[in-house]
C-alpha cells in the first residue's frame, strides 16, 4: 500500500475519533457534484477502462491494413567453396579449390485489389467491437458514479447517525445525573439509577459503533473519489432526470442502457464475422511489382568476390488471383461456427434486455418503498418527539417512571435513525433507476466539467501512418461485393416494451422537496 493511500485511510479513521463526532479533515469535494467531478477525472478504474478503449480502437487500424499495400525488402549473400580431390580432376590443369559468391536484393510491392469481402468484414466487426467498447465504458462510468452517489449518501447518513448517537449519550447522561440526584433525596430507588446506567452504557457502545461505521464509509469514499469527505452538503435533486412513469423508464432503458447497447453491438460484430467466414470461399485478387538485383554463383578470383558487372536486374509486375477450391470442409465448418456464435449473441441480447427490465422493475419498486418510508418515518419522528417530551413532563409529576422515559428516548432516537436511512435509501434507489436507464452520466450530473470523448482517439486514428488514398475505393468495392448475412428479426416485444412475465410497478409518488 502506498504512503498516500495509507495516509488517506488513517485520516478517515482518526478524523472520526478526534473531537468525538463530526470533525473531519479539510476536503475540496464538499458537494456531490464536486465528488462526481473528482472521481470522473481521477478514478483509476475509469481511467483503466478508457485506456482499454483506446487499445480497442487500434483494431480498426489493424483491420483496414488489409486494404493497404505492403512493401518489403529482402536480400541474401552467399559464399561457396568447392574442393576437388586430385583423383577426381578431369585434367591436370583443373583447380583443386574453386570459390564462388552470390548476392541478391529484391524490393516487392503488393497491393490487394479485392479480398472477397474478408477485410470488409473484419473492418465492420472492428467498428462494432469499438462501439460495444464505448458502451462498456459508459457502463463502467455509470457504475463508478453510482458508487460515488451511494458512498456520498452513506457518509451523510452515517454522519447524521453519529450526531444522533452523540445526542443520545448527552440526554442519557443528564438522565443518569437526574436519577442519581433524585435517589440521593429518596425520590427514586436504586433500580431507577441502575436502569439509567444500563441505558447510558448501551448508548455509549452504540456511539462507538457509529464512529467505526463512519470511518469505514469514509475510507470507501476516499477509495472511490480520491480524497476524504468533509462536511458534505445535502444531495441535489435528481427529479430533472427521472422519468414520469415506469413505462417511460422501460422505453429509455431499452434505447439507452449501456449493457444492452453493448450486447447489441456485440451481436452486430458476430454477424460481420459470419460474412467474413463466408468470404473465405471467394477469390482473392492482388497486384504485385518486384524489382530484384542478383549475381550468379560463378567462380571468382579470391581478391574480387563480388563483381558488379555480373549482376542482373529483374523487374516483374503481375496480377494474382487465388481461388479456394477445396480445403477439407474447413471453411464450411467455420461458417457454421460463426452462425451459431451469432445466434448465441442474438439470444444473449434478449437475455440482457429482460435482465435490464427486471432491474428497472426492482429499482422502481425500491424507490416507491423508500419514498413511502420517508413519509412514515417523518410521522414517526414527529409522534416520538411528542411522546418523549410528554413522558418527561409526566415523570416530573409522578405519572411516569424512569424506565418509561428511557423507552421514550430510545424510540425517538430509533425513529430519527429510520428517518435518516429512509432519505438515503430513496436517493440511492433513484440513482439506481437512472443507472439502468443509462442517464447516470457525468454529462448529466456535472455538465460544466470537461467530458472525456472516446471518439476523439478513434478520429485521430482514422488517417494515420500507413494510410493511402486509394484504400477508400478498394474498401468500397470490397464492401459492395461482400456476402452480408441478413439481420435476424428482433424478438423484442413492441407493445408494451416489457419482457414477458414482468409487470410495470405502480407510479412513484412525488418525493419530498430537496
Concatenate the DSSP letters of all residues of 282-333 into one string. Answer: S-EEEEEEEEEEEEEEEE--TT-S--GGG-EEEEEEEEEEE----STTHHHH
User: 421: Cβ–Cβ under 8 A, 6 or more apart, which residues?
Assistant: 157, 377
Q: Which three cell numbers stand for residue 466?
A: 500507413
pLDDT at residue number 210: 93
- Parallel/antiparallel/unpaired status of strands 312-322 and 70-83: unpaired
Q: Is residue 420 pLDDT above 80, yes or no?
A: yes
Q: Which three cell numbers stand for residue 420?
A: 435518516
Q: What is the mean pLDDT of residues 430-434?
A: 93
Residue in 122, 96, 111 with CA at minimum distance from that of residue 468: 111
Residue in 270, 279, 268 with CA at minimum distance from that of residue 66: 279
Q: Which three cell numbers stand for residue 416?
A: 430519527
Q: Is residue 189 assigned to a domain? A: yes
DSSP state of 201: H
Residue 306: pLDDT band (50, 70, 90) is low
Q: Is residue 88 assigned to a domain? A: no
DSSP state of 185: T
Q: Is residue 198 assigned to a domain? A: yes
Distance, first Cα to last Cα, the chain: 40
290 backbone dihedrals φ, ψ, rounded to 5°: -140, 135
Q: What is the mean pLDDT of residues 105-127?
A: 91
Q: pLDDT per residue over 260-294, tens digit each?
A: 999 999 999 999 999 999 988 889 999 999 998 88
Q: How far apart are CA 46 and CA 226, in angstroms?
A: 12
Q: pLDDT per residue over 50-100, tens digit each?
A: 999 999 999 999 999 888 999 999 988 877 777 767 666 666 656 666 677
Q: Is residue 258 assigned to a domain? A: yes
Helices 454-462 and 44-64 cross at an angle (nearest 10°) of 20
Residue 186: pLDDT band (50, 70, 90) is confident
Full DSSP string of 252-277: HHHHH-HHHHHHHHHHHHHHHHHHHH
CB-CB neighbours of 10 under 10 Å = 12
Q: Angle at Cα 301 formed by Cα 296 and Cα 305, nearest 5°?
A: 55
366 and 425 Cβ atoms separated by less than 8 Å:
yes
Least confident among 336-350, 394-408, 485-499: 485-499
CATH code for the domain in which residue 373 is found: 1.20.1600.10
113 backbone dihedrals φ, ψ, rounded to 5°: -105, -40
User: 158: Cβ–Cβ under 8 A, 6 or more apart, which residues?
Assistant: 210, 213, 214, 217
Output the average pLDDT for the chain.
83
497 and 250 Cβ atoms separated by less than 8 Å:
yes
Please return the burial class of 409, using the count of CB atoms within 10 Å of its CB with bins 0-12, 13-18 and 19+.
buried
CA dihedral of 150, 153, 157, 160, whole degrees rounded to 10: 160
346 and 267 Cβ atoms separated by less than 8 Å:
yes
pLDDT at residue number 312: 79
Q: Is residue 210 assigned to a domain? A: yes
Q: pLDDT per residue over 313-342, tens digit each?
A: 888 999 999 999 988 899 999 999 999 999
Q: How far apart are CA 115 and CA 281, in angstroms?
A: 11
**Segments forming the whole domain that contains residue 43:** 3-68+115-282+324-480
Q: How far apart are CA 362 and CA 357, in angstroms?
A: 9
pLDDT at residue number 87: 66
286 and 320 Cβ atoms separated by less than 8 Å:
yes
35 and 225 Cβ atoms separated by less than 8 Å:
yes
pTM for the model stands at 0.80
Q: Which three cell numbers stand for residue 492?
A: 423484442
Q: Is residue 155 assigned to a domain? A: yes
DSSP state of 240: T
Percentage of residues in the chain with pLDDT exceeding 70?
Answer: 82
Please count the residues of the chain: 514
Please return the burial class of 121, using the count of CB atoms within 10 Å of its CB with bins 0-12, 13-18 and 19+.
buried
Q: Is residue 7 assigned to a domain? A: yes
DSSP state of 242: S
Q: pLDDT per residue over 481-494, tens digit each?
A: 766 666 655 443 43
Residue whose grid cell is 510491392: 109
Q: Is residue 107 assigned to a domain? A: no
Full DSSP string of 468-493: -TTHHHHHHHHHHT--PPPPPPP---
Domains of the chain: total: 1
Residue in 224, 84, 199 with CA at minimum distance from that of residue 146: 224
- Parallel/antiparallel/unpaired status of strands 97-114 and 284-299: antiparallel
pLDDT at residue number 27: 42
Amino acid at each position: 500500500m502506498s504512503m498516500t493511500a495509507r495516509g488517506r485511510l488513517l485520516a478517515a479513521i482518526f478524523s472520526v475519533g478526534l473531537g468525538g463526532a463530526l470533525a473531519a479533515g479539510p476536503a475540496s469535494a464538499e458537494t456531490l457534484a464536486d465528488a462526481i467531478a473528482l472521481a470522473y477525472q481521477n478514478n483509476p478504474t475509469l481511467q483503466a477502462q478508457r485506456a482499454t478503449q483506446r487499445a480497442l480502437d487500434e483494431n480498426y487500424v489493424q483491420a483496414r491494413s488489409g486494404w493497404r499495400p505492403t512493401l518489403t525488402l529482402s536480400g541474401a549473400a552467399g559464399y561457396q567453396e568447392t574442393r576437388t580431390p586430385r583423383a577426381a580432376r578431369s585434367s591436370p590443369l583443373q583447380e583443386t579449390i574453386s570459390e564462388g559468391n552470390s548476392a541478391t536484393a529484391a524490393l516487392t510491392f503488393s497491393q490487394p485489389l479485392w479480398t472477397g469481402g474478408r477485410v470488409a468484414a473484419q473492418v465492420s466487426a472492428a467498428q462494432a467491437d469499438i462501439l460495444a467498447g464505448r458502451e462498456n465504458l459508459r457502463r463502467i462510468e455509470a457504475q463508478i458514479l453510482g458508487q460515488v452517489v451511494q458512498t456520498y449518501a452513506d457518509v451523510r447518513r452515517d454522519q447524521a447517525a453519529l450526531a444522533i448517537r452523540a445526542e443520545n449519550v448527552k440526554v442519557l447522561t443528564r438522565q443518569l445525573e437526574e436519577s442519581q440526584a433524585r435517589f440521593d433525596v429518596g425520590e427514586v430507588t436504586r433500580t431507577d439509577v441502575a436502569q439509567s446506567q444500563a441505558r447510558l452504557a448501551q448508548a455509549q457502545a452504540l456511539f462507538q459503533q457509529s464512529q467505526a461505521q463512519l470511518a469505514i464509509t469514509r475510507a470507501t469514499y476516499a477509495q472511490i473519489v480520491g480524497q476524504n469527505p468533509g462536511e458534505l452538503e445535502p444531495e441535489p435533486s435528481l427529479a430533472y432526470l427521472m422519468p414520469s412513469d415506469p413505462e417511460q423508464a422501460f422505453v429509455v432503458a431499452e434505447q439507452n442502457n449501456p449493457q444492452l447497447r453493448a450486447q447489441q453491438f456485440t451481436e452486430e460484430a458476430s454477424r460481420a464475422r459470419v460474412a467474413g467466414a463466408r468470404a473465405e470461399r471467394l477469390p482473392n485478387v492482388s497486384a504485385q511489382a518486384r524489382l530484384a538485383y542478383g549475381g550468379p554463383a560463378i567462380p571468382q578470383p579470391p581478391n574480387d568476390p563480388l563483381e558488379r558487372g555480373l549482376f542482373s536486374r529483374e523487374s516483374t509486375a503481375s496480377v494474382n488471383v487465388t481461388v479456394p477450391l477445396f480445403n477439407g470442409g474447413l471453411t464450411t465448418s467455420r461458417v457454421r461456427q460463426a452462425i451459431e456464435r451469432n445466434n448465441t449473441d442474438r439470444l444473449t441480447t434478449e437475455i440482457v434486455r429482460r435482465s435490464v427490465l427486471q432491474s428497472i422493475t426492482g429499482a422502481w419498486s425500491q424507490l416507491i418503498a423508500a419514498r413511502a418510508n420517508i413519509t412514515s418515518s417523518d410521522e414517526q419522528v414527529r409522534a416520538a418527539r411528542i411522546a418523549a417530551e410528554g413522558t418527561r413532563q409526566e415523570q416530573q409529576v409522578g405519572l411516569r417512571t424512569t424506565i418509561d422515559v428511557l423507552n421514550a428516548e430510545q424510540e425517538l432516537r430509533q425513529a430519527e435513525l429510520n428517518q435518516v436511512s429512509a432519505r438515503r435509501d430513496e436517493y440511492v434507489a433513484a440513482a439506481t433507476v437512472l443507472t439502468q436507464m443509462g442517464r447516470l452520466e457525468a454529462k448529466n450530473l456535472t455538465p460544466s466539467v470537461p467530458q472525456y470523448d472516446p471518439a476523439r482517439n478513434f478520429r485521430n486514428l482514422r488517417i494515420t501512418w500507413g494510410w493511402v488514398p486509394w484504400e477508400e475505393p478498394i474498401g468500397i468495392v470490397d464492401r459492395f461485393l461482400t456476402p452480408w448475412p441478413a439481420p435476424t428479426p428482433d424478438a423484442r416485444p413492441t407493445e408494451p416494451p416489457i419482457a414477458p412475465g414482468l409487470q410495470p410497478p405502480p407510479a412513484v409518488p412525488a418525493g419530498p422537496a430537496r
